[in-house]
A and B are shown apart, each in its own frame.
Chain A
């Protein structure tokens, strides 16, 4: 039943390794970008607030496929942006990370914003009363508490991100779902087995994420 896996013509682990790398780089990138976005959304500068609000609302309501294909066709093929790569697959990978960060950052931003809303206003007031600047208040008092409150929604974002990496197949990143497409064409008699293998692969990636972050959410919760 699983003999097609032993044939040696498919690099299943390699494909999932690309998926894992795609998810990891995108996760780090979107955490940074999402934090920057949320800082802008709560900043006292109207221009920054306006930009971040507009960005979040436009990008999170755009289908991911559109974002990624726009990265390839718009950035790469029209503007010639290749992010320092020359092989087609590497260009696809890097552009996919870029697109996933641009897209997932908006969800990270909103998860963090809900975290910020759990921090009582008195915390920021006390910090301002000590003489801390706006960025210090955010960095030292508000965001650390917001992150702890946002671990559970951030875990959701991370799981969604991991599964969203499959869309990167559309721009030629050699991740798991691209291999699945090939296998579906070649192994028509074992179609459901192929599905099962890939579903299992993603569960292996995402289930521990959810469990570990669920545990972390409890550990890190701020007691009031």
Chain B
């Protein structure tokens, strides 16, 4: 690539100092399915963005493109001003700054809870073992599972596992945290313990992108609600505005189906 074309790249467009994650013109296909259609989304530092929408609307895929667990067909994604690189060392470095929490927890099954939270620190951040352990224990205490540190993931309840997964992501000191339906695989009584941890994180100023079906969380913790349907962002608004006065018919229809029972 010549120097000239670099200077015309998307990273050169004027960028507000607070913009952390910027998606512009992102398209993604799964075979014939156009799962993300011209997505433009900017997430500023410290902002909590909740993505809601019906199943199959592309919200999980959107979340996974941000750390390139899903590649995109066109468009650009930048994190803290840097465009996502191709698969390789550079991408791994970028991913380490983006925490991710999955629907199915995905704790490393052959490692203890403590080892799960230490692994990234030691192998990616090259933190010394003692320091990594101290930090891991502090984080486990913070999410309320400090007493479970020496157990294996399978010995914990779903809610506990998900809180460990949050601690594992936090151990990397991420710039932004992605939550891909973090409570969808949990028993109803365990949902709140996870949401409370997330709410605390939001209050502490963490930048968060949360894909969820928990409207209560969206109302109480979000700065902005992004409503997606059929691969498009249909509506974005503050939670009060979105829930009390949705503008699009699609959002009205969606909310009428979920809020009245």
Contact = CB atoms under 8 A, between A and B. Distances in A.
A98 to B, nearest CB: 33
Interface residues of A, number: 22
A127 B102 contact: no
Given A131-B95, A132-B92, A133-B92, A126 B110 contact: no
Contact of B69 (A120, A128, A140): A128
B121 to A, nearest CB: 9
B107 A126 contact: yes
B254 interface: no
Interface in A144-173: 144-145, 148
Q: How large is the interface on B (under 10, 10 to 19, 20 to 34, 35 or more residues)?
A: 20 to 34
A126 B124 contact: no
B69 A125 contact: yes
A126 B94 CA distance: 14
Contacts of B93: 131
Given A140-B119, A223-B154, A129 B110 contact: no
Contacts of B172: 130-131
Contacts of B119: 130, 132, 140
A123 B108 contact: yes
Contacts of A44: 87
Given A130-B119, A130-B124, A123 B89 contact: no
A134 to B, nearest CB: 8
B106 A130 contact: no
B69 A222 contact: no
Given A123-B109, A144-B110, A129 B100 contact: yes
Given A122-B104, A125-B69, A130 B96 contact: yes
Interface in A86-140: 120, 122-123, 125-133, 136, 140
Nearest to B99: A129
26 contacts: A44-B87, A122-B102, A125-B69, A125-B102, A126-B102, A126-B165, A126-B168, A127-B108, A128-B92, A129-B67, A129-B69, A129-B100, A130-B95, A130-B96, A130-B119, A130-B169, A131-B93, A131-B124, A132-B92, A132-B119, A133-B92, A140-B123, A145-B110, A223-B109, A223-B152, A223-B155
Interface of A: 44, 120, 122-123, 125-133, 136, 140-141, 144-145, 148, 222-224
